[in-house]
Each structure stands twice: as structure tokens, then as C-alpha cells.
Amino acid sequence: MNAGQLLDRLPGLTYRQLDRWTNAGYLRATQAGEGAGHARDYSAEEVRVAALMVRLHGAGLNVASSHRAARALAAGRSAVLAPGVEVVVHDGAPAAEPPEGSSGGPLTAA
């Protein structure tokens, strides 16, 4: 998928973000040629990582944490940011029952 198609598919992603994330190594693009002026293409796996990064970054995670969690989730692993802090992404499916002993609700500030 080329960059234009990726941007069309992920409305929360801007060209500038895509360029920054690719240049920083968060996303891996293939290029048709050397230097500027050549289209970048992204594999299906990179599209999935980008989609997850957009959602996680939009939810408040910094880019590095979004990347780390997106890579783990795209690979089918759990995304643990710190001991006791796991990222879970629901793709429109009903949420599972919360673990026993947890409130099940979102964290809120009093």
C-alpha cells in the first residue's frame, strides 16, 4: 500500500506524522528508489502497526509507547508498558468481563 492509500485508510494520520514515524524507524517502508521523490510502500503488517499507533497515540500514549505496544499487538503478543500496565485494544467487539477483583471501569481522576 502506498503512502497516499495509507493516509486515506487512516483518517487520524497526517502525512507529516507518517513521514516522521517512518524516518524515526517506527514504521518500515519500502521505497521504489533512492532519495526524495520516490513513493514509499507499506506492507500489510506495517499498515496494521500504523493503524494501532494512530489509535494508541490518539488515546494519549507517546509515540515511542504507541510504537512498542502496536508492534506487540500486531504480532499477537500482549502489550505491557510497565509492570501491571497492559494495553488492550478492542476492535468493535464487546468487551470481555473484567478480571475478578477489578472494578472493570476506566481509570478516572477524582
Q: What is the pLDDT of residues 57-78, one digit of tens each?
A: 998 999 999 999 999 999 888 8
Estimate to the nearest angstrom the gap between the alpha carbon of 3 and the chain centroid: 16
Q: Count CA within 13 A, CB hemisphere, residue 58.
A: 12
Q: pTM of the entire structure?
A: 0.74
108 burial type by CB count under 10 A (0-12 exposed, 13-18 middle, 19+ buried):
exposed
Q: How many residues are recorded in the chain?
A: 110
What local confidence, expressed as pLDDT, does residue 54 receive? Answer: 93
- Which set of grid coordinates corresponds to residue 54? 494512530
The rounded distance, in Å, linking the Cα atoms of 68 and 72 is: 6
